[in-house]
Amino acid sequence: MIREEADRRARLQSMIDGGEPPYPSEVNRTHALKSILDAFDEFEKEAEEVTVAGRVIALRDIGALSFIKLMDESATMQIVLRKADLENYKTLIGNTDVGDFYEVTGTAFVTKTGEKSVLSKSARIISKAVKPLPEKWHGLQDVETRYRQRELDLISNEEVRKRFLVRSKFVSAMRHYLDDHGFLEVETPILQPIPGGANARPFITHHNALGADFYLRIAPELYLKRLVVGGFEKIYEIGRCFRNEGIDYSHNPEFTMMELYWAYAKKDEFIDFLEDLTTTIIRESVGSLAVAYGEGEIDFSSPWPRMTFREAILNDCGIDIDTLKSPKEVIAAAKTKKLVIDFKGCVGLGEHLDELWKKTAREKIAKPTWIFDYPVELKPLAKATEGDPSKSATVQLVVQGAEIVNAYYYELNDPIDQRVRFEAQQELKEQGSQEAQWMDEAFLSALEHGMPPASGVGIGIDRLVAFITNSPNLKEIILFPTLKPEQPSEKSEESV
């Protein structure tokens, strides 16, 4: 690789010595490659002159004739260069490497082998690549390198490019749907004095000018609810959130969430809205509600089955959580059913029930299913259900064992009850919980000014996009996932 780079730099110097600028500032492109291929017959018949630009991904030189595969964002197309047509043919081909960017002016024609091409009348290098493409265009295979150097992954793997196009369509479709249904997009702080809105460990940073510590937000929830207090009735935010927790196939410390609040919404109206939102954006992103997943598929066609948190666990392992009143009783029930569950690190009844749920019923739910009424200890920002104060007015969409939509069909707007919930969370924090929520006096003050009845939801965009693109790991649908920094020795070994 070192020798090849040296050769490329020599060709770069050759261009400079010959007075050819290797990195011109402007390009005169008139057409994307796909636009030519889509109307090729017309371009060929009219002999219309076009100027295209893109990356050279293959070069075959047979003396007085050269064939180049040129790729832009829209498509890949063959370019034919003839020595008889180009005064700079010899120096141009002599200085060209796979990976260079070309500008070509010419006309559409079909080669003897029947390939649609552009016959060049003029051509030049518009950006010289001094490093080779991965494995000489056979594709980037090393997973770690693919994530660290996503630009090379995008160049060499068409499926990767398609995956991120789906993600872009997904976010765009979500915005359009919400805008069309009367929701206002807003922005709330990422740097927060108190991390709130979810049970999670935060990242901490320090603001020098203010002389104060801040936290990267774990969720935008509390600020969005303050906007509902301020009079906005239908609002949403799409943005990055950060949680200082483990990294695995379904978790990344930095992720994208859509969070939404709707004042005066009714329970069934809200759930139906969420189903329509989700199915609409999936269909607009990939063209179908039946998407490939592993060796099978997931069908997101609604309506989706509905069951309670209690029913799901009871049906799966025979444990009735309504009979469990303490962490010790949860552990004993699991042992009675011969379940191997590590409750180490769990603090309080809620965290123990959550671990029981994760290791039993949740991981076995494959098709999209609504799970209602989680234990109130797990949802300190949601109202308790009217019929049972031990359950929260919540619902989550579970798909293939993952929770991808987290909704409160009745948000907690009682400031007295909210303070009691925060105090209970503080007790858990004092007992050693790393994920308990903090007391937030500013939020409580907002609630004390009055917040209307409302429903809210958070949707993890990364997880949902992973499902609809058949991506087994979240890193496949995050352009630059969080990775451990490389050591200098590792970098030098890769360059050899």
Q: In this predicted structure, what is the pLDDT of residue 351?
A: 93
> φ and ψ at 19, to 5 degrees?
80, 15
Q: How far apart are CA 467 and CA 298, in angstroms?
A: 8
Alpha carbon dihedral 222, 226, 227, 230, in 10-degree steps, equals: 170
Tens place of pLDDT per residue across the chain (496 aa): 688 999 999 999 999 999 999 999 999 999 999 999 999 999 999 999 999 999 999 999 998 999 999 999 999 999 999 999 999 999 999 999 999 999 999 999 999 999 999 999 999 999 999 999 876 444 556 788 889 999 999 988 889 999 999 999 999 999 999 999 999 999 999 999 999 888 889 999 999 999 999 999 999 999 999 999 999 999 999 999 999 988 888 889 999 999 999 999 999 999 999 999 999 999 999 999 999 998 899 999 999 999 999 999 999 999 999 999 999 999 999 999 999 999 998 999 999 999 999 999 999 999 999 999 999 999 988 999 988 999 999 999 999 998 999 999 999 999 999 999 999 999 988 888 878 888 999 999 999 999 999 999 999 999 999 999 999 899 999 999 999 988 776 554 444 3
pLDDT given at position 141: 65
In this prediction, residue 433 carries a pLDDT of 86
Which among 379, 317, 390, 389 has a CA at the least distance from the CA of 354?
379
Q: Of 108, 93, 97, 116, which is closest to residue 52 (Cα–Cα)?
A: 108
pLDDT of residue 246: 84
Task: Give the Cα separation of 49 and 108 in Å (integer).
Answer: 8
Q: Give the model's pLDDT for residue 199.
A: 84
Going along the chain from its start, the domains and CATH numbers come out as 2-132 (2.40.50.140), 156-305+367-477 (3.30.930.10)
User: Phi-psi bin for 495: left (phi > 0), alpha (psi -120 to 50), beta?
Assistant: alpha
Give dist(CA 82, CA 325) in Å, integer.
Answer: 83
Q: How far apart are CA 175 and CA 255, in angstroms?
A: 17
Tokens of 184: 């206002």
Which H, E and C letters describe the chain, residue by residue? Answer: CHHHHHHHHHHHHHHHHCCCCCCCCCCCCCCCHHHHHHCHHHHHHHCCCEEEEEEEEEEEECCCEEEEEEECCCCEEEEEEECCCCCCHHHHHHHCCCCCEEEEEEEEEECCCCCEEEEEEEEEEEECCCCCCHHHHCCCCCHHHHHHCHHHHHHHCHHHHHHHHHHHHHHHHHHHHHHHCCCEECCCCCEECCCCCCCCCCEEEEECCCCEEEEECCCCHHHHHHHHHCCCCEEEEEEEEECCCCCECCECCEEEEEEEEEECCCHHHHHHHHHHHHHHHHHHHHCCCEEEECCEEEECCCCCCEEEHHHHHHHHHCCCHHHCCCHHHHHHHHHHCCCCCCCCCCCHHHHHHHHHHHHCCHHHCCCCEEEECCEHHHCCCECECCCCCCEECEEEEEECCEEEEEEECCECCCHHHHHHHHHHHHHHHHCCCCCCCCCCHHHHHHHHCCCCCEEEEEEEHHHHHHHHCCCCCHHHHCCCCCCCCCCHHHHHHHHC
- Its pTM stands at 0.88
Q: Which sign does the torsion angle of CA 437, 439, 440, 446 carry? A: positive
Q: What is the CA radius of gyration of the chain?
A: 29
What is the end-to-end Cα distance of the chain in Å, rounded?
6
Q: Give the pair of three-digit tokens for residue 166.
A: 């789906």
Q: What does the alpha-carbon distance between residue 236 and residue 234 come to, in Å, rounded to a whole number? A: 7
